[in-house]
Amino acid sequence: MSMLSNILNGIGSLIFAEECIICHEPIASSLHGVCTKCRYQIPTTQYWLYEENPVTEHFDGLVPIYRASSFIFYSTHSPWRNAIHNFKYHNAWRIAYNMARWYGRELKSSGLYDDVDIVVPIPLHYKKLLKRSYNQSTYIAEGIARELGIDYNSHLLYRRRNNPPQARNKASQRWQNVEELFAVRNAKRLQGKHILIVDDVLTTGATICSCVEAILRVAPDCRVSVATLAVTRSIERD
């Protein structure tokens, strides 16, 4: 290989240091993990533009939710589904963070989330956190909070039991498993606040409902909103 092609390859690997998480083509690191073509094809819901949308309707009658939305649809065989599924593994927290910032910019521009005070991720049990080394929802919270220009807090809530993954359970079992699953560490910090709970995927919403109940039990005067990165095409109710 000539010296010139060595130099060109070196420059290329510097510019195209990453690959697109969706199509796996090499991309510049300035694109934050998703190439321009895939950016245009992302299956967004646009729910964040509307006070009432299928996600807010889903929570109607379950728990009092002030605002709720999801960024993209979580469809079978979608490469976006795989990308979000992989958040939990392979140290893919940076992808979760970058997508969350993208979503955070959309939430900000909608104007419906302007008075959120604090972003709170759904916590993992400490044993799971030790095993996995990070909580993907914390990075989602960090990305969204940064774009909204507010703080996130991953210590306000904690998980009281180390439940098996909900994905393995039937929808009806999920509701039983999450009963009083969460507790609040510092209720004073939540009084009168508008809290945005964030998670990766909304399937039944059972885990989120349990979080909302835990918050409203100790801080009944606060408003709770929900933002998830993805939502299944048909949200399971039971």
Q: How far is the CB of 86 from Zn ion (least distance, A)?
A: 15
Please identify, using beta-carbon distances, which residue of 35 and 211 lies nearer to Zn ion: 35
Please identify, using beta-carbon distances, which residue of 41 and 91 lies nearer to Zn ion: 41
Sequence-distant (6+) residues with CB within 8 A of 177 are: 163, 166, 169, 206
Q: How far is the CB of 25 from Zn ion (least distance, A)?
A: 5
Q: How many helices (H) and strands (E) does the chain have?
A: 9, 9
Residues binding Zn ion (CB under 5 A)? 20, 22-23, 35, 38
Please give the Cα distance from 236 to 173 (Å, whole number): 12
Alpha helices in 88-195 (DSSP H): 93-110, 126-132, 136-148, 171-177
Please give the Cα distance from 202 to 175 (Å, whole number): 14
Please identify, using beta-carbon distances, which residue of 20 and 197 lies nearer to Zn ion: 20
Please identify, using beta-carbon distances, which residue of 90 and 170 lies nearer to Zn ion: 90
Please give the Cα distance from 35 to 23 (Å, whole number): 8
Q: How far is the CB of 183 from Zn ion (least distance, A)?
A: 41
Taking alpha carbons only, the member of 152, 142, 44, 134 closest to residue 100 is 142
At 6, list the tokens: 């060595």
Q: How far is the CB of 19 from Zn ion (least distance, A)?
A: 8
Please identify, using beta-carbon distances, which residue of 38 and 84 lies nearer to Zn ion: 38
Q: How far is the CB of 75 from Zn ion (least distance, A)?
A: 17
